[in-house]
Structure 1
Amino acid sequence: MSEFSNFCRIKLMLAKIGGYSDLPYESEKSLPAHIRRQAMMRILDQFLYPTKSHLQLEQMISGMLRRGYLSRNIATPDYHHNLEDVDHTDFSSIARNAGNEALVSSVIGCSGTGKSTAVEAILQTYPQAIYHPEYQHSQLVWLKVECPHDGSVKNLCTNFFRAVDLALGTDYQALYVKSRSSAESMLGSIARVSALHSIGLLVIDEIQHLEKSRSGGSAKMINFFVTLTNVIKVPVLFIGTPKALELFQPTMRSARRAAQFGSLDWGRFARAGADRGDGEWEQFFKRLWKLQWLENPTPLSQEIMDLFWEYTQGIAHIAVALFYLSQARAVVADRNAIDRPLVTKVYKEELAMIHPMISALRSGREETILQYADLDIPRESLAARTSLPEMPYIPNDGEAAEQADISKSTQLISLLIQMGIGEDIAPSVADQALAENPNDSLFELVGHIKNLEERSVDMPVQKTSPRKSKKPSPVYVEDDLRLVQGEDPEMTYQALRKKGVIIELSAYL
């Protein structure tokens, strides 16, 4: 698959699952408040803003899947060799250093930044189970297992069999998980099931929970997964918070040196400087702000964007939650505006539990941030890990020759058509984007095309019965002073003073 085709596939997938398809219908904005609140919950379930990190993650997963299957073709003797290797391997007595297999990688980042959501969205583009009738073989393309919160290695093994049963309709959990079964006794069964069903990619989520396990169980489990890649070539992808780095350092350091796919550090959204245009945070928030179920949407202002940054520090999950809660309260209270006093009140009342973590990030002091293990990756931990060059976004030699004859304009037009832009207007849209941003990549150009953000115009509008009486709703404009007014007179005064609309009489006395 060429780089451009791969780009189209991941972009279309993210557009379908994420922010391009979940704009509210116009008819929904006039529904009763309690129904609108239910409708806007789609923001929490479906909103996903694609970035360069998503494309890099897709390339990593795609490469691990294909690379892992090279030596595991069920139509060749390799499949049976894998089963024999499992039978002759004692997984219950794994050495301390599990080797340097290149098919082990990780996605490490701050809690709430969307790591698991991104991985799940990408995995959904592949069929999870494929049955090959000519070989009577049930293939598992991918399997995602979550570590239990108590860090129990035995429960992790149980979760593995349960996930296989859900995907294939088997009964491995009843077969292998007994009351007297130990984690060590189940490792060999996990390896055999993985080889038997040709698991293409094993994803272990919330790996930092293993840190709670005692008696060296976490290190043994990490060694087991790495050995799994050595013996039967099953790629393993770990997802976790910075706390997981302590688990990886003894075992995974040698693997980092040989890793072909690298390790992805999934950070918070970055904020651009004053003279550098829109950064990832600005693009993300502008897209999020359009998802309003208000009859007269509140215009976005720099003040409200700065306020959300102050309260979320670029963590996507918190930003989405704060936006939803603020909008829900505005709808239920029939305020029809998301203003500074409302957002502040919601943050103080409904997100009080995260105030210490946000304050730590806001301070920028490393010693304060390190008090919370699920926040940013510590610099010394990053320095201790073997750094790898960032995955290139350029195709290989064969693909470069294939794309040499395709101009950026042609590629962009083709991409826009596949994403739903009409063939008649796609060329003009592409020309305008290229004229404004001639040096941007295809991925960046898509972000600048505002037409994609207005696709809801083409959606069918459901007819609703007219109301008997309708309360007139105000229409707000940019920098509307009515949005500044709140219940607290002091806050309102300070906000108006900041905007320069209050005259200090003392200067004239």
Structure 2
Amino acid sequence: MDMFKTATYIDAEIAEYEGHPLINALPRINSPQQTAELIRRTPVVRQEEVMLPAYIRRHAMLRIMDGFLYPTKAHLQLEQTISSMIRQGYLSRNIANKSYQETLNSTAEFTQHVSRNAGNEALVSSVIGCSGAGKSTAVEAVLAGYKDQVIMHPIYQHVQLVWLKVECPHDASVKSLCINFFRALDLALDNNNQYEKQYVKPRSNAEMLLGDFARIAALHSIGLLVIDEIQHLERSNSGVSERILRFFVQLTNTIKLPILFVGTPKAYELFSPSMRSARRASQFGSINWNRFNTADKTGKGSDWERFFERLWSLQWFKSPQPLTDEIRNLFWDYSQGIAHVAVTLFYLSQTRAVTIGKEIITKELVDSVFNDELHMIRPMIRALQSGVEKEIEKYSDLEIPKAALIQHDTVFEVHEESSNAKITKSETLTTLKQLTNMLIQMGIGEDIAPAVAEQAVSELPNGNLFDLVAHIKNLEEKALPKPEKKKAKVVKLTPAYVENDLRLMVHSNGGTYKTMKNEGVILRLSDYI
């Protein structure tokens, strides 16, 4: 434990944080500018390396894959979310207060009272986005800003763990999850696997393991629990998934432990009613980690343009190649805004260029590299290129469902001030812009979405986004002509009779057994014996 930092306490930045050792031992709250500098990773291209043979230069180029990260607004939002979650979670876990011991005691019978609702103080958030978009990398970059993951408090004889990242196991079992937790904990504390040896035994059942999980999490005052690859839970039966998710919600309720879920769009299918209510009640919301877009709303270039310009500057060519619109658009087409695909394609294209001795990236070279070396992801990229929802849905890791995007946006809208308040001109323009974007996400064409949004706002000027979307759906339903219901004509049919018709026999003679026998329509079995 001697290798860990001893707490030094800073002055509280706001009144609520005064007298909270766990909060005041943390680094100061970052400004957006500080966050950008903290997260940004730009590999160095050394001039002497440019002159090296191609087979050696390739090794230097690997820095593109391992050491490039360009901060965007999403990164800044993520950092602020994590910063707030850690501090808010610590507010009710003050080691300088006797109530802290009460919190520890509350975990004694933890698993016997499983909560089904996160209540109004849910410390839950999520980062959901397509594979390769950089979610996990971004989370790790933000957590790295808390350089001292473990902080010692000698005055209080306490060991604080600021954050812990645990991967959801592939088999999605309770036992595997707890094993991953104890291993991550032992690694962070340099504990020589002591917790895993102590708690994970052949006869340990799920109930015992979850209880130990909660007690140790409370004991070490974990500031934030990050559960990565949460979509793995969909591989388990619904009962196990629901149980694990309720357990996480209970952690936030009982010991006020904030939890950040990270996963692909598959994760949206997993959230049970208890988890959905937790996400709605959470003051931190959820972050949809989308692919880069090409829309420029700032006049300073789109996120994609700024990202790719910085990436393109990492050239190990003797004569660096200027960036053209053709090349930028080509990389967009082949990556569809997925950061990892764009970085990988750029690295592979550059290594191919120096290997063949041309040291220039052309359209033909990029085409060849994509088709030769990224052929496994070609079907997914083709689906995104098509824009056809049915094609995209074949690959569940590609896109966030539109319904989830709309739900995410409306979470914040329903908590607005009274919808009867007077709407200013600037607010109207903002609403128009948000509504237009939402309609495009819903599948309404970009050419008509602005007109539809304008009509809805003019007809419902005081409505929030939730009301406006509902209004538009109403209009669509009314526009569809209802089929006229025609009364069926009752046609009286005259029956057609044949010779020796049994129906005539019944009507005329009463249809008794004797009558039928006299008419010869009943067989006598004795004739056939």
Tell me if the contact between 1:99 and 1:227 (Cα under 8 Å) persists in the aligned partners. no
Q: Return the alpha-carbon distance in structure 1 between the equivalents of residues 155 and 299 of structure 2.
A: 58
User: How far apart are residue 187 of structure 1 and its match?
Assistant: 0.3
Give 1:236's aligned residue.
259
Equivalent in 74, 78, 83 of residue 99 of structure 2: 78
1:87 aligns with 2:108: yes
Give 1:167's aligned residue.
188
Tell me if the contact between 1:92 and 1:187 (Cα under 8 Å) persists in the aligned partners. no
Equivalent in 31, 35, 40 of residue 6 of structure 1: 31
Q: Deviations over 1:264-310 (max 9, x none)?
A: 11100001369966211111111100001111112211111111111
User: How far apart are residue 128 of structure 1 and its match?
Assistant: 0.7
Cα 1:115/1:5, change in 2 over 3 Å: closer
Tell me if the contact between 1:256 and 1:386 (Cα under 8 Å) persists in the aligned partners. no
Tell me if the contact between 1:257 and 1:386 (Cα under 8 Å) persists in the aligned partners. no
Tell me if the contact between 2:152 and 2:159 (Cα under 8 Å) persists in the aligned partners. yes
Alignment of 1:414-433 (within 5 A): none
Between the two proteins, the alignment pairs up a number of residues equal to: 385
Q: Return the alpha-carbon distance in structure 2 between the equivalents of residues 105 and 297 of structure 1.
A: 43
User: How far apart are residue 131 of structure 1 and its match?
Assistant: 1.3
Tell me if the contact between 2:168 and 2:233 (Cα under 8 Å) persists in the aligned partners. yes
Cα 1:155/1:88, change in 2 over 3 Å: closer
Give 2:79's aligned residue.
58
Tell me if the contact between 1:98 and 1:224 (Cα under 8 Å) persists in the aligned partners. no
Tell me if the contact between 1:99 and 1:226 (Cα under 8 Å) persists in the aligned partners. no
Q: Return the alpha-carbon distance in structure 2 between the equivalents of residues 150 and 32 of structure 1.
A: 46
Give 1:342's aligned residue.
365
Give 1:142's aligned residue.
163
**3-state SS of paired residue (2:271):** helix
Give 2:172's aligned residue.
151
User: How far apart are residue 260 of structure 1 and its match?
Assistant: 0.7
Equivalent in 139, 143, 156 of residue 123 of structure 1: 143
Tell me if the contact between 2:115 and 2:249 (Cα under 8 Å) persists in the aligned partners. no
User: How far apart are residue 371 of structure 1 and its match?
Assistant: 1.4
Equivalent in 63, 68, 72 of residue 47 of structure 1: 68
Q: Deviations over 1:145-203 (max 9, x none)?
A: 01122323321111000000000022111111112323332000000000100000000
Cα 1:322/1:281, change in 2 over 3 Å: same
User: How far apart are residue 352 of structure 1 and its match?
Assistant: 0.6
User: How far apart are residue 232 of structure 1 and its match?
Assistant: 0.4
Cα 1:100/1:208, change in 2 over 3 Å: farther
Tell me if the contact between 2:118 and 2:281 (Cα under 8 Å) persists in the aligned partners. no
**3-state SS of paired residue (2:155):** coil
Give 1:184's aligned residue.
207
1:296 aligns with 2:319: yes
**3-state SS of paired residue (1:298):** coil
Percent sequence identity over aligned pairs: 58
Q: Return the alpha-carbon distance in structure 1 between the equivalents of residues 410 and 178 of structure 2.
A: 31
Cα 1:166/1:208, change in 2 over 3 Å: same
1:247 aligns with 2:270: yes
Give the superposed CA RMSD: 2.1
Alignment of 1:478-489 (within 5 A): none
Name the stretch that deviates more: 355-364 or 212-221: 212-221
Tell me if the contact between 2:29 and 2:83 (Cα under 8 Å) persists in the aligned partners. no
Tell me if the contact between 1:142 and 1:201 (Cα under 8 Å) persists in the aligned partners. yes
Q: Return the alpha-carbon distance in structure 1 between the equivalents of residues 113 and 260 of structure 2.
A: 23
Cα 1:166/1:379, change in 2 over 3 Å: same
Q: Return the alpha-carbon distance in structure 1 between the equivalents of residues 360 and 169 of structure 2.
A: 41
Q: Return the alpha-carbon distance in structure 1 between the equivalents of residues 38 and 179 of structure 2.
A: 31
Q: Return the alpha-carbon distance in structure 2 between the equivalents of residues 274 and 149 of structure 1.
A: 40
Tell me if the contact between 1:326 and 1:342 (Cα under 8 Å) persists in the aligned partners. yes
Cα 1:167/1:4, change in 2 over 3 Å: closer
Which protein has the larger Cα radius of gyration, Structure 1 or Structure 2? Answer: 2
Give 2:123's aligned residue.
103
Give 1:469's aligned residue.
none
Give 1:207's aligned residue.
230
Q: Deviations over 1:101-146 (max 9, x none)?
A: 4201111111111111111000011121111222222110000001
**3-state SS of paired residue (2:404):** helix
Q: Return the alpha-carbon distance in structure 2 between the equivalents of residues 184 and 222 of structure 1.
A: 14
Tell me if the contact between 2:233 and 2:241 (Cα under 8 Å) persists in the aligned partners. yes
Tell me if the contact between 1:92 and 1:188 (Cα under 8 Å) persists in the aligned partners. no
Name the stretch that deviates more: 269-278 or 30-39: 269-278
**3-state SS of paired residue (1:187):** helix
1:366 aligns with 2:389: yes
Give 2:406's aligned residue.
383
Q: Return the alpha-carbon distance in structure 1 between the equivalents of residues 31 and 144 of structure 2.
A: 15
Q: Return the alpha-carbon distance in structure 1 between the equivalents of residues 412 and 47 of structure 2.
A: 46
User: How far apart are residue 206 of structure 1 and its match?
Assistant: 0.5
User: How far apart are residue 220 of structure 1 and its match?
Assistant: 0.7
**3-state SS of paired residue (2:226):** strand
Cα 1:156/1:322, change in 2 over 3 Å: same
User: How far apart are residue 372 of structure 1 and its match?
Assistant: 1.0
Name the stretch that deviates more: 236-245 or 333-342: 333-342
Equivalent in 337, 340, 344 of residue 314 of structure 1: 337
Q: Return the alpha-carbon distance in structure 2 between the equivalents of residues 376 and 148 of structure 1.
A: 23
**3-state SS of paired residue (2:160):** strand
User: How far apart are residue 96 of structure 1 and its match?
Assistant: 4.1
Q: Deviations over 1:75-96 (max 9, x none)?
A: 211221111000132x166244
**Unpaired stretches in structure 1, ≥5 consecutive residues:** 391-509
Name the stretch that deviates more: 133-142 or 105-114: 133-142
Q: Return the alpha-carbon distance in structure 1 between the equivalents of residues 89 and 410 of structure 2.
A: 23
Q: Return the alpha-carbon distance in structure 1 between the equivalents of residues 408 and 330 of structure 2.
A: 35
